[in-house]
Amino acid sequence: MAKLKIRKIGDEALRKVCRPVEEITPRTLMLLDDMVETMRAADGVGLAAPQVGILRRIVVIEVEEGNVIELINPKIIATAGEQEGVEGCLSVPNRRGTVKRPRHVTVRATDRNGQTFEISGSDLLARAFCHELDHLDGKLYVDRASRMEEI
């Protein structure tokens, strides 16, 4: 496994719409593993492929230690409720912002074995789903924030 370089705000890769993964290859599996290592090393709870310069629809999330969620070609299929809270981003260092998100989110995705599955989450996990999937469409939380601050 390898720790990858995290792209920072201003890098054009962060503003691109990512392409779907057509085939899960050994390279895809290595990317998933490398993204988890990179996310953990940076003390993050989520990481999307464009944050490491790969314009593919791949996300990893770990809001509970040891419970990594790998999402290939994820799509939000249901939302409910609303929450407002503070977000940060590994690609936007030293800043955080207040963002409204759904309280409950259901995502459909493919796993590393090529199986389609659905996963639902609330609160922090719902926020992470929305935040990371936004990256796949070239959006950053700063685009949605009602208030920003330096930290």
- pTM of the full structure: 0.96
Tell me the mean pLDDT in the region 68-91: 98
Q: What is the pLDDT of residue 99?
A: 98
Q: From residue 101, how far is each of 16, 20, 51, 151 by CA, in Å? A: 22, 24, 21, 22
Residue 137, domain extent:
12-150
Q: What is the pLDDT of residue 19?
A: 98
User: Which residues are marked as active site?
Assistant: 132
For residue 142, give the CATH number of its domain.
3.90.45.10
* Locus of tokens 């709870």: 45
- Say yes or no to pLDDT of 2 above 90: no
Residue 5 within any structural domain of the chain: no
Residue 1 within any structural domain of the chain: no
Residue 28 within any structural domain of the chain: yes
The residue among 41, 39, 64 whose CA lies nearest residue 49 is 39
- Say yes or no to pLDDT of 1 above 90: no
Q: Which two tokens stand for residue 68?
A: 């990594």
- Mean pLDDT for the chain? 97
- Say yes or no to pLDDT of 107 above 80: yes
- Say yes or no to pLDDT of 136 above 90: yes
Sheet holding 92-101, edge to edge: 83-89, 92-101, 147-150
Overall number of domains in the chain: 1
Convert the pLDDT of each residue in 12-32 to its tens digit.
Answer: 999 999 999 999 999 999 999
The residue among 138, 133, 151 whose CA lies nearest residue 61 is 133
